[in-house]
Amino acid sequence: MSIWWSLHLRRDAASVPLARRLLIGTMETAGVDPDVSYDISVALTEACANAVEHGGTARGGHTEAYRVTAYLDGEKCRIEVADSGPGVPSAPAPDIRMARVDAEDGRGLCLIRELADHVHIGARPGRTGTVISFDKILKWKKDPSLLTA
């Protein structure tokens, strides 16, 4: 089975749970194991929160949108979150260290790296902004809820 969708979302905190619920619903319908679904949805939540917080502001003070794309193809799920912020440096990213336990933020990229099988953080080719993409190998429920017509 192959499923993909893409959302163009406002950089607003209310957009984060929308993306997460859509992903969870897609994976539940496809029959993905709930534990795998949970891990990838937490990683998506962190990536979206980073886009909302660091994703840039359009001219005139309006918040720009960010894009979330999900691919479920065969045994793998790939998520991409792209924003229009200042981007990441072109040099290789330094090792990301876990934030202090009492820190308000700084854990997102560490969580994504722990929950996903492969993570890539880079600049958008030819544009400003950052793309966080991550993959997770899928496991399936014994009795998927996807019904065929």
Q: Domain segments of the chain: what residues?
A: 3-90+103-137
Position 100 pLDDT exceeds 50: yes
Architecture of domain 3-90+103-137: 2-Layer Sandwich (3.30)
Look at 89 and 40; give whichever has higher pLDDT. 40
pTM of the model: 0.82
> How does 100-129 read in b/e, with b if 16+ C-beta sit within 10 Å?
eeeeeeebbbebbbebbeebebeebeeeeb
The answer to whether the CB of 33 falls within 8 A of the CB of 41 is no
Any idea which of 41-50, 114-123, 140-149 has the lowest mean pLDDT?
140-149
Sequence-distant (≥ 6) Cβ neighbours of residue 116 within 8 angstroms: 39, 40, 43, 134, 135, 136
pLDDT, tens digit (0-9, with 9 covering 90-100), for 62-71: 558 999 999 9
What pLDDT score was predicted for residue 149?
Answer: 44
